[in-house]
Structure 1
Amino acid sequence: MPFSDILSTPYICKVVEEETPKFRNRVFTPIVTLQTFISQVLSQDHSCRDAVARVLADRIAQDKKPCSGDTSPYCRARMRLPEKLIMRLLRETGRNLHNQSEEGWKWKGRSVKLVDGTTISMPDTPENQDAFPQVPSQKEGLGFPIVRLVAIISLSCGSVLDYAFGPYQGKETGEHALLRQIVDSLVTGDILLGDRYYCSYFLIAMLQQKGVDVVFQLHARRKPDFRRGIRLGPRDHLVYWSKPARPEWMDETTYNTMPDTLAIREIKAGGKVISSTLLDPKKVTKKELADLYVKRWLIEVDLRSIKDTLQMDVLRCKTPEMIRKEIGVHLLAYNLIRTVIAQSASLFGILPREISFKGTVQTLEAFRDKIFLMAKKKLPGLYRVLLKAVAEYRVGNRPGRSEPRAVKRRPKAYPRLTVPRRQAV
């Protein structure tokens, strides 16, 4: 029920009918399979056995015929679940939530989107190694397959709008190449916020052609000189970048469509040099630009929530096809939780970014059985209590927080495994 506003039963049935081939009316229909898959990634256990046990308990509570506790039917149903169905639900839920963001959640009335990349590990199977090879510096059989993922996330509500992923290394597997695959998620009037890695001439030029402004930290290879250019204020000037030589990934036709120069505004604040296409200092002051860049850190927090709280850091599936589905369902579940956060924020007049993601997950888990067993007429009142509880879990205001990347608790003193486990037995 907490997700019914954005994933209503008629809506899911419509999407399933359009994306799924004909199926028999068995226990694990596409809708039940998707529901169970989402329940699985939201649970702390994360195992198929726990997911099937939940289905069994739910069927008994609804006076339906109990299903088997065997996980094989569920695993086969997950394999039949179309990847396109998961991708479509993920993108549409993220986009709908972003488009419904209240005006007070936006930045100066504009839509800001965050971009960043991360890596994810998975089981060491031959199929996964072929699709997502391990780091070349590791000995064969000792490392784990790694996937690189780039996501575009809404600043206002935190929903994942789109994502792309590929092998950790190889041709056209970098974050720039992956971003180009999903650049159509950006529309005219958007502002894209990212770290210095994205501060590239051709990426900025492509985004400007789409009517998208950018705010990036200046790339380390570019050395700012505030004595040059058009002075807009202290440590604030307008410069023109010249078009570099054609990169290998770009064809000649596309290269010829790129502008010969780019007008870029550079400011220095907080020890960082920030580059942007928001050129007018009267519309966007230096301080506003610097404060906006500080919000870039929110995508780091979002990715940490997905990888740590939802446990996507280490995937479980053993084939590339299921790995792709597992990533999609994790991100779909994340968007559904962000929906509950947005509903709570709207109801109690706060910003979605002020509400704890982990606190929301804990609250949903605590309320799950109560919602399922409560009489239908009492559900609205219970749901309001749930949203109020979610709103009370606030994120602390910790500007400029800096802590050492270290842990105090020591790991167990087990010897390191230096050969594949099957050889060490």
Structure 2
Amino acid sequence: MNNSIIKTLDTIKRFIDDITDSTELLNKYRQSVTDFTRNRKITLYILVAWLMSQVKKSLHIEIDSFWNNFVKSGNCPTTAAFCKSRAKLKPDFFHDMNIELVKAFYNNCQTARNWHGYRLFSIDGSNLSLPDTDNLRRYYGNFTNNKGEQGPAANISISYDLQNQIISDSVMTPFSGKGNGELTNGLRMMHSNPAGISDRLYLLDRLYGCFATVKIAATDDFKFVCRCKTNLSETVKEFIKKAKTQGYIQLVANYKSKKTLNNLQIDVSIGDRITVRAVKIKTEDGTTVLLLTNLTEEEASAETLAQLYQIRWGVEVAYGIIKNEEQINIFSGIRDCCIRQDFFCAMLLLNIESLITKLDDGAIEAINQCKSKENRPPVQIDRNFTWHVLKDTLPLWLLDNRRDDRILECMATRFLYDLIESNKGKRYPRTKRQRALRGKFYTFTNYKQAI
């Protein structure tokens, strides 16, 4: 497994090499045909390594630290030079690099986790607040939070492998309210499947419980388990009132479904019907939840579906890492190009961190076996500390011409430092605390910055 993980991570360097060696590929990711042609201090490799170093502080400080710690050649370029260089690189560079990394993972790691042969994915979206500039307001639109404050925001969505902690695809689009942007983004990712992953099984929340999801699943031949709003339609309401716990219902295409699917080149007319299995389950608090699925009763009983749907929470955990450990809301620039570079970099870095963590799976398992014999609680890697290690070491690996994989192994070893008690299966009450009323900085009682 370790060799396959390292081989997968080497895809990143091969991707950059292929682009620097091919004018055709380079043209796809640079803004002008003259970009990255002259012999400059800031090469494509150096620029990519810097952008992947999680730039959160003052640009002057970050550039000086990066250059003196990793490049160590000549005088450090100015902040303006780095800003001009990054403007030459299209944000899609990092998105496509991540897609190649994902493809390599599923091709190389034959022992990657699955559920009865299916890859368990969840698609979920969120709103991302952006720097308040006129240009970003015009392009992304305004978002109003629960305090009535307005500002530019984007809809972001990820497709997340729940068992292997891998982001298979990500999207960032202008803000659209009432969940419309999130639903459209999610359906598009399911339909496009850029990494070409087969045997997909999506676990989805109630936003996706609609005709469009069922139709795309039938068109693209993937499986899904989806929560459904109990007031979605009259048919659903009638089924909820019935005594039986499962059966088959029909969903009808409306104008919204037709428009959404037609935009994805799927032919649908208003009034078209599709049949789907419906299962009622009870939550711990006694609430009735309706699940829709195209898995048969032989493939998954009602009890199995209830257990399976709980796994969906992993995508919420991933968003917690993206927003807290990676600090996605802190951008290294205020232009759209910078915003999108930072976003796709963050998605790529989460996959890199997850893959390096997998190098420690054997060690963690051995440690927990010993602790089990001693009746001590299991431990896990401190995911806050791993981001510090990445910032401290990843650029060194990217800029290493010797292709020394020991750097990756060194990072994995550092991840094992000061393990923390596992929180798997634990639940903690959510405590809301008042933030400081004034000042830019204040101390959190349960959180410290990783980078």
Q: Same fold (TM over 0.5)?
A: yes
CA distance in 1, matches of 2:200, 2:420: 28
Distance change in 2, residues 1:149/1:373 (3 Å): closer
Distance change in 2, residues 1:79/1:414 (3 Å): closer
Superposition deviation, residue 164 in structure 1? 1.7
Distance change in 2, residues 1:364/1:269 (3 Å): same
1:26 counterpart = 2:40: yes
1:40 partner SS = coil
Which ranges in structure 1 are unaligned for 5 or more consecutive residues? 416-425
Superposition deviation, residue 336 in structure 1? 1.5
Indicate the residue corresponding to 2:224 in structure 1. 214
Letter in 2 for 1:324: R
1:199 counterpart = 2:215: no
Indicate the residue corresponding to 1:254 in structure 2. 267
Q: Is the 8 A contact 2:208 2:226 kept in 1?
A: yes
Q: What are the within-5 Å matches in structure 2 for residues 3-18 of structure 1?
A: 5-16=9-20, 17=22, 18=25
Indicate the residue corresponding to 2:97 in structure 1. 89
1:362 partner SS = helix
Q: What are the within-5 Å matches in structure 2 for residues 375-394 of structure 1?
A: 380=406, 383-384=408-409, 386-391=411-416, 393=419
Which deviates further from its counterpart, 200-209 or 96-105? 96-105
Q: Is the 8 A contact 2:332 2:338 kept in 1?
A: no
Could you tell me which of 31, 36, 40 is aligned with 2:50? Answer: 36
Indicate the residue corresponding to 1:130 in structure 2. 138
Distance change in 2, residues 1:198/1:395 (3 Å): farther
Distance change in 2, residues 1:182/1:201 (3 Å): same
Indicate the residue corresponding to 1:358 in structure 2. 384
1:312 counterpart = 2:328: yes
Q: Is the 8 A contact 1:215 1:277 kept in 2?
A: yes
CA distance in 2, matches of 1:119, 1:194: 18
Could you report, residue by residue, the CA deviation over 1:35-59 in whole angstroms, capped at 9, with x for unpaired residues?
1000134xxx443223311332146
Q: What are the within-5 Å matches in structure 2 for residues 25-424 of structure 1?
A: 25-41=39-55, 45-58=56-69, 61=72, 64-68=73-77, 70-103=78-111, 105-135=113-143, 143-169=150-176, 174-183=181-190, 184-185=192-193, 187-222=197-232, 223=237, 225=239, 228=242, 235=245, 237-247=246-256, 249-250=259-260, 251=262, 254-256=267-269, 260-270=273-283, 271-345=287-361, 355-365=381-391, 380=406, 383-384=408-409, 386-391=411-416, 393=419, 396-399=422-425, 401-407=427-433, 410-413=435-438
Could you report, residue by residue, the CA deviation over 1:358-398 in whole angstroms, capped at 9, with x for unpaired residues?
23223445666998999x89973x75454244357467244
Q: Is the 8 A contact 1:114 1:296 kept in 2?
A: yes
Letter in 1 for 2:41: V
Superposition deviation, residue 154 in structure 1? 1.2
1:153 partner SS = strand
Q: Is the 8 A contact 1:193 1:216 kept in 2?
A: yes
CA distance in 2, matches of 1:373, 1:315: 23
Letter in 2 for 1:9: K
Percentage of pairs with the same residue = 16
Distance change in 2, residues 1:384/1:202 (3 Å): closer
Superposition deviation, residue 403 in structure 1? 1.7
Letter in 1 for 2:221: G
Q: Is the 8 A contact 1:151 1:160 kept in 2?
A: yes
Q: TM-score, normalising length from structure 1?
A: 0.80
Q: CA RMSD in A?
A: 3.9
Distance change in 2, residues 1:346/1:191 (3 Å): farther
CA distance in 1, matches of 2:155, 2:136: 13
2:64 partner SS = helix
CA distance in 1, matches of 2:98, 2:404: 30
Q: Is the 8 A contact 1:199 1:216 kept in 2?
A: yes
Superposition deviation, residue 264 in structure 1? 1.4
Distance change in 2, residues 1:147/1:60 (3 Å): closer
Q: Is the 8 A contact 2:253 2:270 kept in 1?
A: no
Q: Is the 8 A contact 2:47 2:86 kept in 1?
A: yes
Q: Is the 8 A contact 1:118 1:150 kept in 2?
A: yes
CA distance in 1, matches of 2:49, 2:71: 17
CA distance in 2, matches of 1:283, 1:373: 48
Which deviates further from its counterpart, 110-119 or 86-95? 86-95
Letter in 1 for 2:220: K
Letter in 2 for 1:387: A
Superposition deviation, residue 106 in structure 1? 1.3
2:100 partner SS = helix
Q: Is the 8 A contact 2:140 2:152 kept in 1?
A: yes
CA distance in 1, matches of 2:438, 2:272: 58
Q: TM-score, normalising length from structure 2?
A: 0.76
Q: Is the 8 A contact 1:97 1:157 kept in 2?
A: no
Q: Is the 8 A contact 1:193 1:296 kept in 2?
A: yes
